[in-house]
Amino acid sequence: MNRFMGLHEECGIFGIYNAEGNCARSAYYGLYALQHRGQEDCGIVAMNDVKLSCHKGAGLVGDVFGEKILNELGGTMAIGHVQYGGRNGSLGGSIQPLTLTYIKGSLAIAHNGNLINSDALKREFEFKGAVFHTNTDSEIIAYIIAQARPHCNSVEEAVNQAMKRIKGACSLVVMSSRKLIAARDPWGFRPLCIGRKGDSIVFASESCALDSVEAEFIRDVDPGEIVWVDDGVLHSNRENCVSKSSLCIFELLYFARPDSVIDGQSVYEARINAGRCLADEYPINSDVVIGVPDSGLVAAKGYSIATGIPNDDGFIKNRYIGRTFITPLQTGREEAVKIKLNPLRATVNGKRVIMIDDSIVRGTTVVPIISLLRDAGAKEVHVLSSSPKFIAPCYFGTDIPTRHELFAFNHSTEDMRKIIGADSLGFLSLESLSKIAPDSKCGFCDGCFSENYPVTK
Amino acid sequence: MNRFMGLHEECGIFGIYNAEGNCARSAYYGLYALQHRGQEDCGIVAMNDVKLSCHKGAGLVGDVFGEKILNELGGTMAIGHVQYGGRNGSLGGSIQPLTLTYIKGSLAIAHNGNLINSDALKREFEFKGAVFHTNTDSEIIAYIIAQARPHCNSVEEAVNQAMKRIKGACSLVVMSSRKLIAARDPWGFRPLCIGRKGDSIVFASESCALDSVEAEFIRDVDPGEIVWVDDGVLHSNRENCVSKSSLCIFELLYFARPDSVIDGQSVYEARINAGRCLADEYPINSDVVIGVPDSGLVAAKGYSIATGIPNDDGFIKNRYIGRTFITPLQTGREEAVKIKLNPLRATVNGKRVIMIDDSIVRGTTVVPIISLLRDAGAKEVHVLSSSPKFIAPCYFGTDIPTRHELFAFNHSTEDMRKIIGADSLGFLSLESLSKIAPDSKCGFCDGCFSENYPVTK
Amino acid sequence: MNRFMGLHEECGIFGIYNAEGNCARSAYYGLYALQHRGQEDCGIVAMNDVKLSCHKGAGLVGDVFGEKILNELGGTMAIGHVQYGGRNGSLGGSIQPLTLTYIKGSLAIAHNGNLINSDALKREFEFKGAVFHTNTDSEIIAYIIAQARPHCNSVEEAVNQAMKRIKGACSLVVMSSRKLIAARDPWGFRPLCIGRKGDSIVFASESCALDSVEAEFIRDVDPGEIVWVDDGVLHSNRENCVSKSSLCIFELLYFARPDSVIDGQSVYEARINAGRCLADEYPINSDVVIGVPDSGLVAAKGYSIATGIPNDDGFIKNRYIGRTFITPLQTGREEAVKIKLNPLRATVNGKRVIMIDDSIVRGTTVVPIISLLRDAGAKEVHVLSSSPKFIAPCYFGTDIPTRHELFAFNHSTEDMRKIIGADSLGFLSLESLSKIAPDSKCGFCDGCFSENYPVTK
Amino acid sequence: MNRFMGLHEECGIFGIYNAEGNCARSAYYGLYALQHRGQEDCGIVAMNDVKLSCHKGAGLVGDVFGEKILNELGGTMAIGHVQYGGRNGSLGGSIQPLTLTYIKGSLAIAHNGNLINSDALKREFEFKGAVFHTNTDSEIIAYIIAQARPHCNSVEEAVNQAMKRIKGACSLVVMSSRKLIAARDPWGFRPLCIGRKGDSIVFASESCALDSVEAEFIRDVDPGEIVWVDDGVLHSNRENCVSKSSLCIFELLYFARPDSVIDGQSVYEARINAGRCLADEYPINSDVVIGVPDSGLVAAKGYSIATGIPNDDGFIKNRYIGRTFITPLQTGREEAVKIKLNPLRATVNGKRVIMIDDSIVRGTTVVPIISLLRDAGAKEVHVLSSSPKFIAPCYFGTDIPTRHELFAFNHSTEDMRKIIGADSLGFLSLESLSKIAPDSKCGFCDGCFSENYPVTK
Q: Given strand A352-357, what is the order of strands in its sheet?
A: A288-291, A352-357, A380-385, A424-427
A176 at interface of B, judged by CB pairs closer than 8 A:
no
Task: Check whether the bond before D97 is cis (ω within 30° of 0).
Answer: yes
D126 touching chain C per CB within 8 A:
yes
- Whether chain B has a CB inside 8 Å of the CB on C258: the answer is yes
Q: Is the pLDDT of residue B154 over 70?
A: yes
Q: How far is CA D102 from CA C137, C440, D134, D147, D148, in A?
A: 15, 43, 17, 9, 11
Pairwise CA distance, residues A265 & A332, whole Å? 40
Query: Per-residue pLDDT for B361 more than 90?
Result: yes
User: Taking a C-beta distance cutoff of 8 angstroms, is the pair D64, D42 a contact?
Assistant: yes
Reported as type and span, the H/E element at residue C286 is none
Position B93 scores a pLDDT of 61
Residues of B in contact with A118 (CB under 8 A): none
- Say whether pLDDT at B331 is over 80: no
Q: For residue D424, how many other CB atoms are within 10 A of its CB?
A: 16
Q: Give CA–CA dist B329/C342, Å, rounded.
A: 39
Average pLDDT over residues D68-87: 88
Higher-confidence residue of D9 and A421: namely: A421
How confident is the model at residue D14, as a pLDDT? 98
User: Which run of H or E residues covers position B88?
Assistant: none
* Listed residue (D284, D282, D287) closest to D385, CA to CA: D282
- H or E element, residue D455: none
Q: What is the torsion angle, in degrees rounded to the nearest 10, for the CA atoms of residue C267, residue C270, residue C272 and residue C274?
A: -140
Burial class from Cβ neighbours inside 10 Å (0-12, 13-18, 19+) for residue C381 reads buried
CA D158 to chain centre: 27
Phi, psi (5° rounding) for residue C275?
A: -65, -40
Residue C330: other Cβ atoms inside 10 A: 6
Q: What string of DSSP letters covers D228-278?
A: EEETTEEEEE-TTTTSPP-EEHHIIIIIS-TT-EETTEEHHHHHHHHHHHH
Q: Which residues pair with A354 in a beta bridge?
A: A289, A382
The pLDDT of residue A196 is above 80: yes
CB A132 within 8 A of CB A139: yes
- Identified catalytic residue from B11, B170, B208, B448: B11
Out of D32, D36, D301, whose CB is closest to A339? D32
Whether residue B32 and residue C70 make contact (CB cut-off 8 A), yes or no, is no
Averaged over A178-184, what is the pLDDT?
98
Structure-model confidence comparison of residues D128 and D327, the more confident one: D128
Helix (H, G, I), strand (E, B), or coil: what is residue D94?
coil
pLDDT in tens, B261-310: 999 999 999 999 999 999 999 999 999 999 999 889 999 999 999 999 99
Lowest-pLDDT choice from B78-82, C445-449, D135-139 = D135-139
* Model confidence at A360: pLDDT above 70: yes
User: Over D321-334, what HEC string results?
Assistant: CCCCCCCCCCCCHH
One-letter amino acid for residue C366 of the chain: V
Nearest CA in chain B to A99: B133
Residues of C in contact with D131 (CB under 8 A): 100-102, 107, 139, 142-143, 146
User: Catalytic residue numbers of A?
Assistant: 11
User: Mutating which of D288, D318, D371 best tests the A interface, going by the most A Cβ atoms within 10 A?
Assistant: D318
**pLDDT tens digit string along D160-205?**
999 999 999 999 999 999 999 999 999 999 999 999 999 999 999 9
| pLDDT tens digits along A212-256 | 999 999 999 999 999 999 999 999 999 999 878 999 999 999 999
Total length of chain D = 457
> Is C66 within 8 Å of B326 when comparing Cβ atoms?
yes
How many CA within 13 A on the CB side of residue C410? 12
Q: Tell me, what's the pLDDT at B91?
A: 43
Question: Residue D393 in contact with residue D362, Cβ under 8 Å?
Answer: no
B94's CB contacts (< 8 A; 6+ apart) are B85, B88, B133, B134, B135, B136
Does residue D233 register a pLDDT over 50? yes
Q: Enter the DSSP assignment of A254.
A: I
Confidence of residue D329 (pLDDT cuts 50, 70, 90): low
Query: For C342, which of B211, B312, B339 is closest by C-beta distance?
Result: B211
Cα–Cα distance, C167 to C187 (Å, whole number): 9
Distance CA(A110)–CA(A98), nearest Å, equals 6
The confidence score (pLDDT) of residue C3 equals 35
Task: State residue C91's pLDDT score.
Answer: 43
CB spacing of A35 vs D338 below 8 angstroms: no
Q: With residue D417 as reference, give the H or E element that holds it.
A: helix D413-420
Q: Tell which residue, C261, C53, C82, C39, has the closest CA to residue C173.
A: C82
- Asked if residue A154 has pLDDT above 80, the reply is yes
What pLDDT score does C9 carry? Answer: 44
- Quick check: bond before B119 cis, omega within 30? no
H or E element, residue D415? helix D413-420
Question: What digits encode the pLDDT tens for the residues C142-159?
Answer: 999 999 999 999 999 999
Chain A touching partners, 3 or more CB pairs below 8 A = B, D
- What letter does residue C184 receive in the DSSP assignment? E
CA-nearest of B3, B6, B108 to B362 is B6
* Contact check, Cβ <8 Å, A127/B150: yes
pLDDT at B10: 76
Contact, A442 vs A247, CB < 8 A?
A: yes
Whether the CA torsion C253, C259, C263, C269 is positive or negative: it is: positive
The pLDDT score that the predictor gives to residue D331 is: 53
Q: Please give the average per-residue pLDDT across C177-187, as a whole number.
A: 97
Confidence of residue D45 (pLDDT cuts 50, 70, 90): very high
For the annotated catalytic residues of C, the residue numbers are 11
D194 φ/ψ angles, rounded to the nearest 5 degrees = -120, 135
3-state secondary structure A132-189: ECCCCHHHHHHHHHHHHHHHCCCHHHHHHHHHHHCCECCEEEEEECCEEEEEECCCCC
B400-448 pLDDT, tens per residue? Answer: 888 999 999 999 999 999 999 999 999 999 999 999 999 999 999 999 9
Is-contact B316 C258, C-beta < 8 A? yes
pLDDT digits (tens, 9 = 90+) for A106-142: 999 999 999 999 999 999 999 999 999 998 999 999 9
- DSSP 3-state percent helix, strand, coil across chain D (nearest 5): 35, 25, 40
Residue A8 — pLDDT band, cuts 50, 70, 90?
very low
Give the residue on A whose Cα is nearest the Cα of D27.
Answer: A328
If pLDDT is split at 50, 70 and 90, which confidence band does A270 have?
Answer: very high
- Specify the pLDDT at position A84: 79
Can you tell me the mean pLDDT for C388-410? 92
Give how far D104 is from chain C: nearest CA, Å.
9
Helices (H), C35-187: 61-64, 67-73, 118-127, 137-148, 155-165
- Using a CB-CB cut-off of 8 Å, the residues of chain C touching B326 are 25, 28, 62, 65-67, 70
Distance CA B96, CA B173 (A): 11
Mean pLDDT across chain C, nearest whole number?
92
Cα–Cα distance for residue pair A12/A96, rounded to 1 Å: 10
User: Closest Cα partner for D395 from D189, D104, D142?
Assistant: D189
- How does residue D135 score in pLDDT terms, banded at 50, 70 and 90? confident
Q: What are the pLDDT digits (tens) for C327-372?
A: 776 555 566 788 899 999 999 999 999 999 999 999 988 999 999 9
- Segment A373-420, tens digit of pLDDT: 999 999 999 999 999 999 999 999 888 888 999 999 999 999 999 999
Mean pLDDT, all residues of chain A: 92
Name residues whose C-beta falls within 8 Å of residue C331's C-beta, 6 or more positions apart in sequence: none
- Which 45-104 residues of chain A touch chain D by CB within 8 A? 60-63, 65-67, 70
pLDDT at A4: 32
Element (H, E) at B25: helix B23-33
Is D170 noted as a catalytic residue in this protein? no
Q: Give CA–CA dist D147/D100, Å, rounded.
A: 13
Percent of chain C with pLDDT over 90: 85
Q: State residue C456's pLDDT score.
A: 87
User: How far is the alpha carbon of C285 from chain B, nearest alpha carbon, in Å?
Assistant: 20
User: Count of A–D CB contacts within 8 Å?
Assistant: 144
Query: Measured between beta carbons, which residues in chain C are less than 8 angstroms from residue B349?
Result: none
The sign of the CA dihedral A377, A382, A386, A392 is positive
The pLDDT of residue B400 is 83
Cβ-Cβ pairs closer than 8 A, C with D, add up to 96
C143 CB near a chain D CB, below 8 Å? yes
**Using a CB cutoff of 8 Å and minimum separation of 24, what contacts does C160-167 make?**
C160/C226, C160/C237, C160/C239, C160/C240, C163/C224, C163/C226, C163/C240, C164/C240, C165/C117, C165/C121, C166/C115, C166/C117, C166/C121, C166/C137, C166/C141, C167/C115, C167/C116, C167/C117, C167/C455, C167/C457
Q: Which residues contact A117 (CB under 8 A, 6 or more apart)?
A: A165, A166, A167, A168, A457
Chain D hits for A305, CB-CB cut-off 8 Å, are 310
According to the model, what pLDDT value does residue D93 have?
61
Q: Kindly tell me the burial class for residue D241, based on how many C-beta atoms sit within 10 Å of its own C-beta (0-12, 13-18, 19 or more).
A: middle
Contact with chain B for residue A184, Cβ under 8 A: no
In chain A, which residues have their Cβ closer than 8 Å to the Cβ of D345? 259, 261, 266
> Among D29, D276, D348, which would you mutate to test the A interface (most chain A Cβ atoms within 10 Å of its Cβ)?
D29
Residues of chain A with C-beta less than 8 angstroms from the C-beta of B56: 92
Q: What pLDDT is stored for residue C321 in this prediction?
A: 82
How many residue contacts between A and B have a Cβ separation below 8 Å? 96
Mutate one of C133, C138, C140, C177 to test the D interface: name it (highest D CB count within 10 A): C133
Residue D352 bridge partners (DSSP): D380
Beta bridge mates, D111:
D172
Q: Say if residues D189 and D247 touch (Cβ distance below 8 Å).
A: yes
| DSSP-assigned beta bridge partners for residue A79 | A15, A45
Contact C346 B211 (CB under 8 A): no
Nearest Cβ partner for A268 among D22, D67, D346? D346
pLDDT in tens, B189-240: 999 999 999 999 999 999 999 999 999 999 999 999 999 999 999 999 999 9
Instruction: Give the SS3 label for residue D348.
Output: helix
List the subunits that have 3+ CB pairs under 8 angstroms with C.
B, D
Strand-pair partners of B203: B15, B194
Does the beta-carbon distance from C90 to D51 stay under 8 Å?
Answer: yes
CA dist., res. A46 & res. A57, Å (int):
15
Residue type, A133: H
pLDDT at D338 over 60: yes
Q: How far is B146 from chain A (nearest CA, A)?
A: 5
Among D21, D35, D36, smallest CA distance to D78 is for: D21
Q: Is B128–A133 a contact, with Cβ atoms under 8 angstroms apart?
A: no
